[in-house]
Amino acid sequence: MKQHFANLIEEEESNIDMTPMLDVVFIMLIFFIVTASFVKEAGIDVNRPDAATAVQKNRANILVAISDNNEIWINKRQVDVRAVQANIERLYAENPQGSVVIQADEESNTRVLIKVMDAARSAGVYDVSVATDEE
């Protein structure tokens, strides 16, 4: 009988409980997903104008592209100028620390650029930049 209890104790001690380790891994995974900031791409390549005073922007989470034929692209989708404000409001609600960077092609109209900037400010985002290339 004593030998039976000794074998039972040895079997019980040899099992490793993986549940606490899995809990920690899942908590870390959730933490990293929640704190990660995802960069949204505009969806098209733009020939940006050169600027001598270009400054590197670290946190650009909302990218708006204006093509050479004045098409507006957000999140790889072409957007009508009237829907720019609603799209920026939605993206800004997802990440309130983000800023808006407008990638305007050097052949695009200034009128469209100003409309996009106004839409961003109307959406409550006042950190609006225009992307350029360094000379």
CATH number of the domain within which 94 lies: 3.30.420.270
* pLDDT at residue 53 is higher than 70: no
Quick check: is 122 in a domain?
yes
pTM above 0.75, yes or no: no
Quick check: is 128 in a domain?
yes
Quick check: is 86 in a domain?
yes
Count of all residues that appear for the chain in the document: 135
The closest of 104, 90, 106, 103 to 57, measured between CA atoms, is: 103
Domain count, the chain: 1
> What is the distance between the alpha carbons of residues 85 and 121, in angstroms, rounded to a whole number?
8
Q: What are phi and psi of 89, to 5 degrees?
A: -60, -45
> What is the distance between the alpha carbons of residues 101 and 113, in angstroms, rounded to a whole number?
11
Quick check: is 94 in a domain?
yes
Quick check: is 102 in a domain?
yes
Kindly report, residue by residue over 105-121, the tens digit of the pLDDT: 888 888 998 999 999 99
- Cβ-contact 85, 122 below 8 angstroms: yes
- Cβ-contact 58, 98 below 8 angstroms: no
Quick check: is 34 in a domain?
no
Print the domain residue range for 84. 62-132
Kindly report, residue by residue over 19-29, the tens digit of the pLDDT: 888 899 999 99
Mean pLDDT on 30-51: 66
Q: What are phi and psi of 65, to 5 degrees?
A: -110, 140
Quick check: is 54 in a domain?
no
Quick check: is 39 in a domain?
no
